[in-house]
Amino acid sequence: MTVSEGVAKFVKDVTFQKIPAFTLQKLKEQLYSLIGSMYAGSKTHAGNVIIETVMKEFSGGDGKLATIIPNGNKVPFKEAVTVNAATAMALDYDDYLFLGHTGVSSVPVSLALAENYKLSGKEFLTLQAIGNEVAGRVGAAAVIGPLNGQCWSFIHLASSACMTAKVLDLSVEQIVNAIGIAMTHWTFTAFRSFMGPHAKLFTSAVPCRIGMEAAYFAAYGMTGAPDVFESPTGPLSFYAYTPLPFLIDNSLGEAWVTDTISFKIYPGCGYIDPIADCIGKILEKTGPDFNYQDIEKVRIKASVVSIFMDDLSRPYVTQKELKRSRSHVALNFYVPYNVAIMLMDGKLTPEQFTEEKYTDPEVWKLAEKIKTEIDLDLTRRTTGLIAKLTPENRDLKLVDLGLSEFKVEWGAKVVVQMKDGTKLKAKQLQPIGTPGVPYAIENKLRQEALYIKMGDSQINKIIETVKNFEKLESIHEFIDLITLKS
């Protein structure tokens, strides 16, 4: 049996009743998080450009339509996926799990498919689970390679093909073909395009469209390579230094990578989160008397990955480049800006990434006082379960890894030294919102819904509906509820 056949059998057989209760709870929390991310992303300059383009250039036709979140306008459903996936990723505010940023395909694609095919809440959650489980495993198969995190755009090819195939009720053979078609032209994210300009927002949107189309082509008889994952001439051989295809169909239906989901409570790269947690602790200790103008210097220690992303963003956060691109994107990775604006404003929310904020000379004056360095102990802690993912462990079963005990251990240590010599210190070993460090993620939804001027009563109704999502007979009532037209 090929890897794709193993995936296809899971997609064909999985039902709502087979999804564990804990996993269902994580799916609901993911809905809170991603809808909040879409709301916030819709307010960015880049998000507005995409929405305006789709509305003016690609909104015609009487075929399959779906809703843009949150403005409520209906457009061809692949265009709705483009917008909603892009705004969900706009501020790097999306969730991630073992291994990949899966929510930026599993939620937007499920929304469009459920709206078009009049699916119930149970059917929606099943699609969402398929998206997470497939995408997370494809990410794991390429974890030893040149790309990381959101740049694994190719995971959305497989997940979108599988979610669409489920709705179309394709046979196992047809699902195998859908996967083969989708994975024929793997999307490779160029760091230069990802780090800085608005183009980064299409990182999941484009592969989502390709994956969805692949399922429709397979439904009409088109074929794809059945061994696309494990073949030595398949894309994994080029997109991973050490391909691990045995992880893709590993323990499907037994181990749920959705259980490992981590939620971001700040906009920005996940490696920023523990640093922001530290700043939050310091601000909480000092209270309203804290004055950022009294800061002498700030020193931050973090893992090598955190510092690497910081260094990658550095060339694209100059005042000249920020004015040219009119883009906040690189700032979501740049530690000095995030720390400076949080110390000045007392918070780190989408409001801190407006053009007015990131062109303020006062922010950059403070950012010059902030330095980062690699901490070897924090770097060692980062590896976790990933260290076990090697070709030598091909008999390893994800179900035996204890995914329920998965921890995100890229931490940070921060020292803020004041001009009077006082040193304010904080340490965070696991970011808030990750497994084992819980956060009421509906608060993120509430914060971003208020940001787009949604009323409290509507927000409360959304939260209550998600809590009982499996009771929805039709997704349409939910789609209407999460828009500003409600």
Q: How many alpha carbons lie under 13 Å from residue 451 in its C-beta half-sphere?
A: 22
Question: Taking 90 as the threshold, does the pLDDT of residue 158 lie above it?
Answer: yes
pLDDT of residue 386: 67
pLDDT digits 0-9 by tens, 296-310? 999 999 998 888 888
Kindly provide the b/e burial profile for residues 103-114, where b requires at least 16 CB atoms within 10 angstroms of the residue's own CB.
bbbbbbbbbbbb
pLDDT of residue 384: 63
Amino acid in position 451 = Y
The pLDDT-based confidence of 145 (bands split at 50, 70, 90) is confident
Q: Give the list of residues 6+ apart from residue 455 with CB closer than 8 angstroms, or none.
A: none
Q: How many alpha carbons lie under 13 Å from residue 289 in its C-beta half-sphere?
A: 3
Region of 100 on the Ramachandran plot (φ > 0 left; ψ -120 to 50 alpha; else beta) = left
Question: Taking 90 as the threshold, does the pLDDT of residue 446 lie above it?
Answer: yes
Tell me the percentage of the chain whose pLDDT exceeds 90: 79
pLDDT digits 0-9 by tens, 374-431? 998 888 777 666 666 777 777 788 888 778 778 888 899 999 999 999 999 999 999 9
pLDDT digits 0-9 by tens, 186-229? 888 888 888 889 999 999 999 999 999 999 999 999 999 999 99
Strand partners, 413: 301, 427
Q: Give the list of residues 6+ apart from residue 393 with CB closer than 8 angstroms, or none.
A: none
The pLDDT-based confidence of 62 (bands split at 50, 70, 90) is low
Decide: 257 and 216 in contact? Cβ < 8 Å.
Answer: no
Other beta carbons within 10 angstroms of residue 148's beta carbon come to 16
The pLDDT-based confidence of 486 (bands split at 50, 70, 90) is low
| Residue in 148, 141, 125 with CA at minimum distance from that of residue 30 | 125
- Residue entry with tokens 């004056």: 365
- Measured in degrees and rounded to the nearest 5, phi and psi for residue 40 equal -65, -45
The superfamily in CATH containing domain 3-260 is 2-methylcitrate dehydratase PrpD (1.10.4100.10)
The pLDDT-based confidence of 357 (bands split at 50, 70, 90) is very high
| Residue in 146, 129, 223 with CA at minimum distance from that of residue 183 | 223
Q: What is the CATH number of domain 270-376+410-428?
A: 3.30.1330.120
What average pLDDT does this structure show over 325-347? 96
Q: Which long-range contacts (CB under 8 A, 24 or more apart) does 458-464 make?
A: 458/486, 462/35, 463/32
pLDDT of residue 38: 98
Amino acid in position 371 = K
The reported pTM is 0.95
pLDDT of residue 391: 73
Distances (CA, A) of 344 to 241, 275, 291, 359: 43, 15, 8, 14
Strand partners, 297: 417
Q: How many residues does the chain have?
A: 486
Kindly provide the b/e burial profile for residues 305-319, where b requires at least 16 CB atoms within 10 angstroms of the residue's own CB.
bbbebbebbeebbee
What average pLDDT does this structure show over 140-152? 88
Provide the residue ranges of all domains of the chain, joining segments of one domain with +: 3-260, 270-376+410-428
Within 130-175, strands assigned E span: none
Decide: 439 and 265 in contact? Cβ < 8 Å.
Answer: yes
Numbers of helices and strands, H then E, in the chain? 21, 6
